[in-house]
Amino acid sequence: MIQKQINQKAWFMVLPVFLLVAFSAVIPLMTVVNYSFQDTFGSNKFFWVGMDWFRDLMHSERFHDAFLRQIAFSSIILAIEIPLGIAIALAMPKKGWGVPVCLISMSLPLLIPWNVVGTIWQIFGRVDIGLLGHTLASLGIDYNYTQDPIAAWLTIIAMDVWHWTSLVVLLSYAGLCSIPDAYYQAAKIDGASRISVFRYIQLPKMQGVLLIAVLLRFMDSFMIYTEPFVITGGGPGNSTTFMSIDLVKMAIGQFDLGPAAAMSLVYFLIILLLSWVFYTVMSNVGEESSKGGA
Amino acid sequence: MAHITLKDIAHSYTGASDNPDDYALKKLNLTWRDGGAYALLGPSGCGKTTLLNIISGLLTPTKGQVLFNDEDVTRLPTEQRNIAQIFQFPVIYDTMTVFQNLAFPLKNRGRTQVEIEPRVIELAKMLGLENDLYTKAQHLTADAKQKISLGRGLIRQSVNAILFDEPLTVIDPQLKWELRSQLKYLHKQFGFTMIYVTHDQTEALTFADEVIVMYEGEIVQVGTPEALFERPEHTFVGYFIGSPGMNITPCELKGDRIFIEGHEITLETHYKEQLASAKIEVGIRPEYLSLAQPQDKGLPVNIIKIDDIGRHKIARVALNDSVFHVVMPEMSGMTGDKASLVFDTAHTNIYVNDHLIAGEKP
Amino acid sequence: MRWKWLIPAIYIFFLLLPIYWLVNMSLKTNDEILSMFTLWPQNLTFDNYKVIFTDASWYSGYINSMIYVSINVVISVCFALPAAYAFSRYSFVGDKHLFFWLLTNRMAPPAVFALPFFQLYSSIGLFDTHIAVALAHCLFNLPLAVWILEGFMSGIPKEIDETAFVDGYSWPRFFVKIFIPNIASGIGVTAFFCFMFSWVELLLARTLTAVNAKPISAIMTRTVSASGLDWGVLAAAGVLTIVPGALVIWFVRNHIAKGFALGRV
């Protein structure tokens, strides 16, 4: 670790970043906070209503539903993408021509604009013009994501797995590559089984990258907007209306500033809280292995 | 325990080839006695780790055979060769306690808890780890972790050989001595065949009964530490061993006399006439040189520098282009910048084309 | 396990399948798409691509996206460099808190900012400009850039800085001539991620633009809601948005693994 010298003048170097992010973050947030405590009769006249919007929000069934849908979605996503990503990283070659082929082709879905991801799957899942939809229909399966909530969920989940698992793969792969050969050699000498090697060497050494992967996937899946919006628009009905979609509908669609602002704050706080929980749990597990030096 | 034979081993990292330069290990033959303590000594890149990995099975040699107790194990995978290898940095299982770490090799081979527990406790006592048995291994210091690595190697009673690949690299200097002593003690206790790879001559010379010096993929000399010190068979060995190394300087050879920059020294042995094209050098260790007053008999030299090492001094002297290092006792009254260099002819060696030649006593 | 390679192979096949389908569709005429179901175009046509390259309402979208993404990458990297250096080399009042606060911005749901940004940028007259989107994206790209760069910089020993100062380098000269070349791969990784997150973001980009700076992502979603869907052109537009990303990967392919391993991860 670098010995840092104390230097208050370093603030000048940080100032540009601080100002820009403050401008981008603090001012809008202040506006949001402002709105969350006020109501309007129109023509920009606001009056104070205190905690009313928050009370309404807590009792709002619409909010509860969106929240539960979101939790369910993020849990399923994490449960699929993390193990799958690790499994694929374990199976990837460490050297040879296979390495760049794997890395390049796996990076591709990560660089597609999110609306195009949505469009790709919107088309892919259609029974008339999409490969997936058409194949399922010709197999006799009744699949229609615009009308069947289950089909809609499955399509969105498949889309997210397709879109983001590569991030977990790449991070896990980087973590795996940093394990020195000597550990594998020692395990061979100790007669360890493949499972033991994974459990006692690979998994512990990947903790750092896995923490990042879990945090990133959790946060991004909790904030998901564009892809489901493009595929199903939140439907059929409300079945795929996740929290962001619900919020934007309220804020920009209906211009319900008060309730939208209240929901924004609660939304943000929920993410912060859950991220903090994840971070603490995983780095406590990780703390154990980083104390005591290399 | 096993005695290990390496027969006609050669290795090239690029596969079998006709170009001798591709070979990291040139053809060699070696036998390791059962229960011996050996050191593989040489500078970085000389092939010692390659050789070690061939013995342990982590590398299959391009040519040649590896025999354990006369049984060909060249194609046998590492886990079946029953060897233990300790690496440069501690290799431990982070999530396990010290106890579990030590027990791991036994567990994998199907031993029961009843068999494992007493052995682990006994070994831990020998290594000085008995107080930390139930601590998570990653919380210990680097030398404790290396001890755990060592312990995992020793825990199996049927181990054929223990291979060390520069194991003290990450250890603090003051602890190196302690660990080295512990290794020697364990060797006496268990009698395993131990092969210790290092580039540090102090480690090699204190640990081993027999030292194998390697240079650029070849074995240059095999011998006891004394033999390597007194009669290095190759100028490289002379230069590499000893601190500072042997003084080697060109000379002319005529029978029992040598001429260094025209100055004559009479030797105790008589040497045969050499080819005119041969490179003839004289080698003498700084410990066998001494300085006398300028008017005394010896080579006239200029004193360039005297370093005080504490227990002795090292003088750097020069005779025109030839430079010598001389070990001088602490109290020596050398003033001025000229002296006479005196050779102890009983310990003077002659090298032709880098190889030691023997003479006959007249 | 000799069949281990099967796992990444199947996964890559799964990844490429929808993309192949999109490319397939972009090379068919609308009639063919709606009337038949074929695995490759019966009547191969490049008309869809022609439309995009000739119709200003399409290609302007790409240009707009490229503009604001480039602005964003430049701003993010330039602002982040001194800040990351400060975090890496110095400790100062509130440094840990500041660092953490920066990271929390990455956690903010863009949805929360959609409305406030809309009002903010309208009020300062920057609505529907490239710079507005570039600045808006700084919200999550700047913290990320600082985070990644700080990781790389911490890997460079402080001795290099001190040696340079002893040798008489002024700070700016040291930074440009010595420090930056050392973290070149770090800057590459940072630029890559900033590009990636800005290029793919839709919500804020769409909210803050109307006509002049409308990104391609907004144009495509507009097409979807219009009646008489032109699937072929839509598919072609989609394929074209993948191209810059693919190019970026191609150019940094040697650094991807190295960058991941060396940096924060």
Chains C and B physically touch (3 or more Cβ atom pairs below 8 Å): no
Q: Strand, helix or coil at C2?
A: coil
Tell whether A14 lies on the interface with C, counting CB pairs under 8 A. yes
Answer whether B95 sits within 8 Å of A289, measured CB to CB: yes
A chain contacts of residue C238, beta-carbon cutoff 8 Å: 116, 119-120
Tell whether A209 lies on the interface with C, counting CB pairs under 8 A. yes
The answer to whether residue A32 sits within a structural domain is no
Q: In this structure, what token pair is assigned to residue B61?
A: 């040699």
- Length reported for chain A: 294
Say how far apart CA B248 and CA B285 lie, in whole Å.
9
C117 alpha carbon, distance to own chain's centre: 20
Tell whether A253 lies on the interface with C, counting CB pairs under 8 A. no
Task: Please spell the DSSP secondary structure of A203-239, one letter per residue.
Answer: HHHTHHHHHHHHHHHHHHHHT--HHHHHHTTT-STTT
Tell whether A188 lies on the interface with B, counting CB pairs under 8 A. yes
Q: Which residue of A has its CA nearest to B156?
A: A190
Q: In this structure, what token pair is assigned to residue C179?
A: 């420090």
ipTM of model: 0.81
B chain contacts of residue A178, beta-carbon cutoff 8 Å: none
Q: How many helices (H) and strands (E) does chain A have?
A: 15, 3
Answer whether B152 sits within 8 Å of A190, measured CB to CB: yes
| pLDDT > 70 fraction of chain A, expressed in percent and rounded | 93
Q: In this structure, what token pair is assigned to residue B76?
A: 């046998």
Is the same domain home to C40 and C74? Answer: no
Question: Phi and psi at residue B198, in whole multiples of 5°?
Answer: -160, 160
Q: Which residue from C86, C107, C201 is facing A272, i.e. has the nearest CB?
A: C107
Answer whether A87 sits within 8 Å of C7, measured CB to CB: yes
Say how far apart CA C228 and CA B191 lie, in whole Å.
87
Is the same domain home to C97 and C11? Answer: no
The answer to whether residue C238 sits within a structural domain is yes
Neighbours of A149 (CB within 10 A): 15
Q: What architecture is the B247-357 domain classified under in CATH?
A: Beta Barrel (2.40)
Could you tell me if A98 and C235 are in contact, meaning their C-beta atoms sit under 8 angstroms apart? no
B chain contacts of residue A193, beta-carbon cutoff 8 Å: 108
The answer to whether residue C131 sits within a structural domain is yes
Optimal mutation site among A15, A17, A126, interface C, most CBs of chain C within 10 A: A17
| pLDDT > 90 fraction of chain A, expressed in percent and rounded | 16
Q: What's the CATH code of the domain at A103?
A: 1.10.3720.10
Task: Please spell the DSSP secondary structure of B214-272, one letter per residue.
Answer: EETTEEEEEE-HHHHHH--SBHHHHHHSSSS--EEEE-EEETTEEEETTEEEE-SSB--
Say how far apart CA B47 and CA A133 lie, in whole Å.
61
Tell whether A46 lies on the interface with B, counting CB pairs under 8 A. no
Binding-site residues on chain B for chain A (CB distance < 8 A): 56, 58, 77-79, 83-85, 87-91, 93-96, 104-105, 108-109, 136, 138-142, 149, 152-153
CA distance to partner chain C, nearest, from residue A279 (Å): 12
HEC string for B310-336: CCEEEEEEEECCEEEEEEEECCCCCCC
Q: A44 pLDDT exceeds 70? A: no
C chain contacts of residue A132, beta-carbon cutoff 8 Å: 18
The answer to whether residue A3 sits within a structural domain is no
Domain B4-239: CATH class, spelled out: alpha beta
How many A-C residue pairs are in contact by the CB < 8 A criterion? 279
Owner of token pair 């002893």: C166
Q: Which residue of A has its CA nearest to B56?
A: A189
Is the same domain home to C38 and C114? Answer: no
From first CA to last CA, the distance across chain B in angstroms is: 48
Could you list the residue range(s) of the whole structural domain that residue A240 is in? Answer: 57-290
Q: What's the CATH code of the domain at C236?
A: 1.10.3720.10
Say how far apart CA C143 and CA A114 lie, in whole Å.
21
> In sequence order, which residues have a C-beta less than 8 Å from that of residue A54 and are 6 or more positions away?
A36, A262, A266
Q: Which residue from A185, A193, A200 is facing B93, i.e. has the nearest CB?
A: A200
The answer to whether residue C50 sits within a structural domain is no
The answer to whether residue A48 sits within a structural domain is no
Which partners does chain C have (≥3 C-beta pairs < 8 Å)?
A
CA distance to partner chain A, nearest, from residue B361 (Å): 53
CA distance to partner chain A, nearest, from residue B172 (Å): 14
Q: Strand, helix or coil at C110?
A: helix
pLDDT number for residue C227: 42
Cα distances (Å, whole numbers) of residue C213 to A254, C66, C68, C126, C127:
25, 10, 8, 11, 9
pLDDT number for residue A107: 85
Q: Which residue from A24, A257, A271 is facing C136, i.e. has the nearest CB?
A: A24
Answer whether A185 sits within 8 Å of B87, measured CB to CB: yes
Neighbours of C222 (CB within 10 A): 13
A chain contacts of residue C76, beta-carbon cutoff 8 Å: none
For residue C206, the cross-strand partners are: none
Answer whether C15 sits within 8 Å of A174, measured CB to CB: no
C222 or B293: whose pLDDT is higher? B293
The answer to whether residue C51 sits within a structural domain is no
Task: Please spell the DSSP secondary structure of C195-244, one letter per residue.
Answer: HHHHHH--HHHHHT-SSTT--HHHHHHHHHHSSS--HHHHHHHHHHHHHH
Could you tell me if C169 and C177 are in contact, meaning their C-beta atoms sit under 8 angstroms apart? yes
A54 or A1: whose pLDDT is higher? A54
CA distance to partner chain C, nearest, from residue A75 (Å): 17
Q: Which residue from A16, A171, A267 is facing C265, i.e. has the nearest CB?
A: A171
Answer whether A186 sits within 8 Å of B104, measured CB to CB: no
| pLDDT > 90 fraction of chain C, expressed in percent and rounded | 10
Tell whether A51 lies on the interface with B, counting CB pairs under 8 A. no
Q: What is the DSSP letter of A108?
A: G
Optimal mutation site among C27, C90, C133, interface A, most CBs of chain A within 10 A: C90
The predicted-structure confidence for C162-219, as pLDDT tens digits, reads as follows: 888 888 888 888 888 888 887 777 787 788 788 888 888 888 888 888 888 888 877 7
The predicted-structure confidence for C122-141, as pLDDT tens digits, reads as follows: 888 888 888 888 988 988 88
Is the same domain home to C27 and C80? Answer: no
Say how far apart CA B98 and CA B305 lie, in whole Å.
52
What string of pLDDT tens digits covers the 362 residues of chain B? 678 888 888 888 877 777 777 778 888 888 888 888 899 998 888 888 888 888 888 888 888 888 888 888 888 887 778 888 888 888 889 888 999 999 998 888 888 888 888 888 988 888 888 888 888 888 888 888 888 888 888 888 778 888 998 888 878 888 888 888 888 888 888 888 889 998 888 888 888 889 999 888 888 888 898 888 888 888 888 888 888 888 898 888 888 888 888 888 888 888 888 888 888 888 889 988 888 888 888 888 888 888 888 788 888 888 888 888 988 886 666 677 888 888 888 888 888 888 888 888 76
Q: Strand, helix or coil at B115?
A: helix
Which partners does chain B have (≥3 C-beta pairs < 8 Å)?
A
Is the same domain home to C119 and C241? Answer: yes
The answer to whether residue A47 sits within a structural domain is no
> In sequence order, which residues have a C-beta less than 8 Å from that of residue A103 and are 6 or more positions away?
A170, A173, C253, C256, C257
Answer whether C111 sits within 8 Å of A29, measured CB to CB: no
Is the same domain home to C108 and C8? Answer: no
Number of separate domains in chain C: 2
Tell whether A288 lies on the interface with B, counting CB pairs under 8 A. yes
Which partners does chain A have (≥3 C-beta pairs < 8 Å)?
B, C
- In this prediction, residue A153 has a pLDDT band, given cuts at 50, 70 and 90, of very high
Could you list the residue range(s) of the whole structural domain that residue C16 is in? Answer: 1-45
**Per-domain boundaries in chain B:** 4-239, 247-357
Nearest to B219 by CA among B1, B13, B22, B38: B38
Q: Which residue from C14, C157, C196 is facing A162, i.e. has the nearest CB?
A: C14
Q: A41 pLDDT exceeds 70? A: no
Give yes or no for a cis peptide into A236 (omega within 30° of 0).
yes
Average pLDDT, chain C: 81
Answer whether A196 sits within 8 Å of B87, measured CB to CB: no
pLDDT number for residue C229: 64
pLDDT number for residue C262: 47
Tell whether A269 lies on the interface with C, counting CB pairs under 8 A. no
Tell whether A196 lies on the interface with B, counting CB pairs under 8 A. yes
Q: Which residue from A14, A103, A114 is facing C257, i.e. has the nearest CB?
A: A103
pLDDT number for residue B5: 87
Q: Which residue from B95, B105, B152 is facing A204, i.e. has the nearest CB?
A: B95
Task: Please spell the DSSP secondary structure of B133-157, one letter per residue.
Answer: TTSBGGGS-HHHHHHHHHHHHHS-T
Owner of token pair 């530490």: B225
Say how far apart CA C185 and CA C188 lie, in whole Å.
5
Give me the amino acid identity at B285: R
Tell whether A84 lies on the interface with B, counting CB pairs under 8 A. no
Number of separate domains in chain A: 1
Could you tell me if A77 and A217 are in contact, meaning their C-beta atoms sit under 8 angstroms apart? yes
The answer to whether residue A23 sits within a structural domain is no
The predicted-structure confidence for A236-254, as pLDDT tens digits, reads as follows: 888 888 888 888 887 777 7
Q: Which residue from A190, A289, A293 is facing B104, i.e. has the nearest CB?
A: A190
The answer to whether residue C71 sits within a structural domain is yes
The answer to whether residue A209 sits within a structural domain is yes
A chain contacts of residue B91, beta-carbon cutoff 8 Å: 182-183, 186
Q: In this structure, what token pair is assigned to residue A92?
A: 């990837």
Average pLDDT, chain A: 83
pLDDT number for residue A42: 63
